[in-house]
Structure 1
């Protein structure tokens, strides 16, 4: 009896490509794939248990979205953000999120959504108390992961209340690109956490009061403050890298 060739349903092929897309995204978000890291189709296809085709298609989509970029050597690497790209990403966040929070503030909030937002805000307060109790001035890696989850959750739920899935998708991708640089940073300091807690609390109050104008103003100030912190970190990181390269060059010249 002749052997039947295996056929793939179009939906199955799409599902594998989406799994590949989400796998690469997850590795970038977790820091496993850092800025400048070369994407290995072979390694990812083995991990996914698929051919290289869905990996190549997912990488092409992420390339178009800006999370990946072409390297001078011809491969595909995780995007390395410049100072200007950080500015542009935060400008995009501000434009879309400020619009969305204004929309969210136009309607009464469901009790379940309010409780969830309250719990996400309180996680920041819990982290602050942990710092004070331990005497530490900044979050460690595990605490920073907890903060990131609660912070993303707070902003994502506000966006969901605006009922615009396209805006939510663009902002989620934008925040992931910012996170690529953020992976290199140390944990939030106490003063940063206190500011974020205060901002989140005030934004929620404005939305609950259905004060769209105040909610938009507060969220704009919140995003602008975050942008200034990220830029200050980027400038510091650039200076440190330049000094390290200078020290290396000096040591090599002395050896010669």
Structure 2
């Protein structure tokens, strides 16, 4: 059993997330089974070989993995390994993004809304530098403007801007969905999307009371699909895509419960298509859901 306080990597969310994913891979192996090579593990876990080595080193120290190099094996008598808490596997930038989006929703933000770095830092319990870095990412898109001696101002966006971005989203996500379906069965992505499927079913059963919870589930689902195709440029664009598609359309409260229920059912059909690995079925489910999102977005920006 490891102690997260003593391994010297408290802020290394990539390591912690990969460690948890590696435990899931080991759970599917028997005592004495050989581990895949570092190259294969790197591909399966979606991280660098350097991170894989750090994880393997920790597993070896704890007695869960024996051997070295190409001759590593699983030791089931190594004892139960403690997972890192979920909160420690989420990068601070992602935590700030989520809190910022929730802040905008609660405040019903519109074009012209003032944004104060210090106030947000206090509300979120983070350093102002983290808030500033987050806002700077959106400034280049023209959605947030820095004004001398006046802080930041949310500029809003036009339907034309949103539709241009939609074209990029569709290209990115369809490509990622196809890559997702081709992942090996041992990939942690399948466990994660199966867990998300259960969350969708649970939310659907309580939709009357919990329909507001859909925004977070929606964001996590689409982010997971897109992580199947690691790409720094896609990751950068996805920040702005999240702002518009996963949050902005909710400012239009008309029929929100009904719209979220429809979207949940579309997600479930999309997930089943991914599990089928049928490319035609995946493309149909993906395009159908994104078409609904596009229609909702157009109504929202027009309103």
Q: Identify, as 1 or 2, the structure richer in helix.
A: 1
Aligned twin of 2:100: 27
Correspondence 1:131-170 to 2 at 5 A: 131=207, 143-170=210-237
Correspondence 1:1-256 to 2 at 5 A: 23=96, 26-31=99-104, 34-35=109-110, 36-41=112-117, 43-44=119-120, 59-69=135-145, 76-110=152-186, 112-131=188-207, 143-186=210-253, 188-190=256-258, 192-235=259-302, 238=303
How many Å apart are 1:95 and its aligned residue? 1.5
Change in 2 beyond 3 A, CA 1:234/1:117: same
Distance across 1 between alignment mates of 2:264 and 2:122? 43
Aligned twin of 1:4: none
Question: What whole-Å deviation, never above 9, does each CA across 1:124-183 have from its counterpart, x for those lacking one?
Answer: 33333224xxxxxxx56xx24421222222211122223335423422331123345234
Distance across 2 between alignment mates of 1:20 and 1:165? 15
Change in 2 beyond 3 A, CA 1:27/1:45: closer
Distance across 2 between alignment mates of 1:172 and 1:117? 21
Query: Alpha carbon RMSD of aligned pairs, Å?
Result: 3.6
Task: Give the secondary structure class of the aligned counterpart of 2:140.
Answer: helix
How many Å apart are 1:102 and its aligned residue? 1.4
Question: What whole-Å deviation, never above 9, does each CA across 1:172-210 have from its counterpart, x for those lacking one?
Answer: 3311233452342326333x3443233223322332232
Change in 2 beyond 3 A, CA 1:27/1:201: closer
How many Å apart are 1:74 and its aligned residue? 7.3
How many Å apart are 1:93 and its aligned residue? 1.3
Distance across 2 between alignment mates of 1:208 and 1:20? 30
After TM superposition, the score normalised by the length of structure 1 is: 0.63
How many Å apart are 1:219 and its aligned residue? 0.7
Task: Give the secondary structure class of the aligned counterpart of 1:161.
Answer: coil
62-71 or 88-97, larger mean C-alpha shift: 62-71
Task: Give the secondary structure class of the aligned counterpart of 2:265.
Answer: helix
After TM superposition, the score normalised by the length of structure 2 is: 0.55
Question: What whole-Å deviation, never above 9, does each CA across 1:39-73 have from its counterpart, x for those lacking one?
Answer: 234545777786x77766654443114441367x9
Change in 2 beyond 3 A, CA 1:118/1:65: same
